[in-house]
């Protein structure tokens, strides 16, 4: 796995069931907006909080690898898929592993869409995520990035624990390089109303997904005949 030398390293976990162009745009635009040295994609083995993926882990990984082959600045970490014998992938464990790989000083930033960030409190040991990495949150159509209304206790706006963390940790892109972990940085990306669920639905219906997924993913889906039937592998 490439670690792109020095600088802030982006870590982009997902089910990628399948990888689509909004995932790629998120990674590209995060790299630009946050001045990242590179982005490492980490396909989930068995996601803890979601239904079982439709595509087998090996297929999901293979599609990410094919789509990213030779794209400068992007790499793929297969460890979650490889470890996914029977237990779910927890992001906290992924970050612990990444921290061991890169040492205590390297700034690491976990990249999330606004929908994933909104559900963060349900994640295993979620408060410890901030000890290990920054979090950067991309805008996503239909998923407002809630900012605690005033941040002032007693104004009637009963914020959640995540709202409080957001208010306390909110930073600018330039903050990411200053410390190894702990800031939350929102960033705007090109609005793309694309989801893996909608892509699978189109495939089940026999409709085209060309230009919603990279050509390499389309070729893979066609040659392996995945997603064409409900729950089909």
Half-sphere exposure (Cβ direction) of 39: Cα atoms closer than 13 Å: 27
- Using the rule CB under 6 A, is 10 a contact of ligand ATP? no
**Nearer of residues 65 and 151 to ligand ATP, judged by Cβ:** 65
User: For the residues of 106-157, what is the DSSP string, one character each?
Assistant: S-EEEEEEHHHHHTGGGSTTGGGHHHH-EEEEE-BTTB-----SS--TTSS-
The residue among 196, 181, 190 whose CA lies nearest residue 116 is 196
**Nearer of residues 121 and 155 to ligand ATP, judged by Cβ:** 121
Rounded Cα distance, 177 and 105, in Å: 10
Q: Residue from 133, 196, 203, 212 that binds ligand ATP (CB under 6 A)?
A: 196
- Using the rule CB under 6 A, is 42 a contact of ligand ATP? no
Rounded Cα distance, 114 and 222, in Å: 31
Rounded Cα distance, 134 and 183, in Å: 5
Q: Residue from 23, 31, 106, 134 that binds ligand ATP (CB under 6 A)?
A: 23
How is residue 181 written in tokens? 């972990």
**Nearer of residues 104 and 211 to ligand ATP, judged by Cβ:** 211
Q: Residue from 8, 9, 24, 26 that binds ligand ATP (CB under 6 A)?
A: 26
Rounded Cα distance, 14 and 206, in Å: 25
CB of 23 to ligand ATP, least distance (A): 5
Q: Residue from 14, 55, 107, 182 that binds ligand ATP (CB under 6 A)?
A: 14
Within positions 173 to 192, which residues make up the interface with ligand ATP, using CB under 6 A? 192
Q: Residue from 194, 212, 213, 217 that binds ligand ATP (CB under 6 A)?
A: 194
The residue among 181, 223, 214, 5 whose CA lies nearest residue 96 is 181
Quick check: 110 and 133 in contact, CB under 8 A? yes
**Nearer of residues 37 and 111 to ligand ATP, judged by Cβ:** 111
Within positions 109 to 148, which residues make up the interface with ligand ATP, using CB under 6 A? 112-113, 115-116, 138, 140
DSSP state at residue 51: P
CB of 44 to ligand ATP, least distance (A): 8
Q: Which residue number is nearest to ligand ATP in terms of Cβ?
A: 113
Q: Would you tell me which residues interact with ligand ATP (CB under 6 A)?
A: 14-16, 22-23, 26, 112-113, 115-116, 138, 140, 192, 194-197
């Amino acid at each position: 796995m490439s670690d792109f030398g020095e600088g802030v390293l982006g870590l982009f976990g997902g089910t990628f069931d399948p990888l689509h162009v909004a995932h790629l745009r998120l990674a590209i635009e995060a790299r630009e907006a946050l001045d990242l040295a590179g982005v490492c994609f980490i396909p989930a083995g068995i996601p803890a909080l979601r239904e079982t993926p439709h595509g087998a882990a090996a297929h999901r990984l293979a599609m990410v690898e094919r789509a990213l082959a030779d794209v400068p600045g992007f790499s793929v970490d297969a460890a979650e898929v490889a470890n996914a014998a029977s237990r779910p992938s927890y992001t906290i464990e992924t970050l612990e592993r990444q921290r061991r790989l890169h040492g205590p000083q390297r700034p690491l930033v976990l990249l999330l869409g606004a929908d994933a960030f909104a559900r963060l409190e349900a994640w295993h040991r979620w408060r410890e995520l901030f000890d290990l990495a920054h979090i950067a949150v991309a805008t996503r159509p239909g998923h407002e990035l809630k900012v605690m209304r005033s941040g002032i206790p007693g104004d009637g706006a009963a914020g959640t624990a995540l709202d409080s963390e957001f208010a306390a940790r909110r930073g600018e892109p330039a903050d990411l390089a200053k410390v190894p972990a702990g800031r939350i940085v929102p960033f705007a990306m090109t609005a793309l109303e694309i989801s893996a669920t909608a892509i699978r639905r189109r495939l089940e219906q026999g409709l085209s997904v060309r230009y919603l997924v990279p050509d390499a993913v389309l070729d893979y889906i066609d040659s392996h005949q995945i997603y064409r039937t409900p729950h089909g592998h």
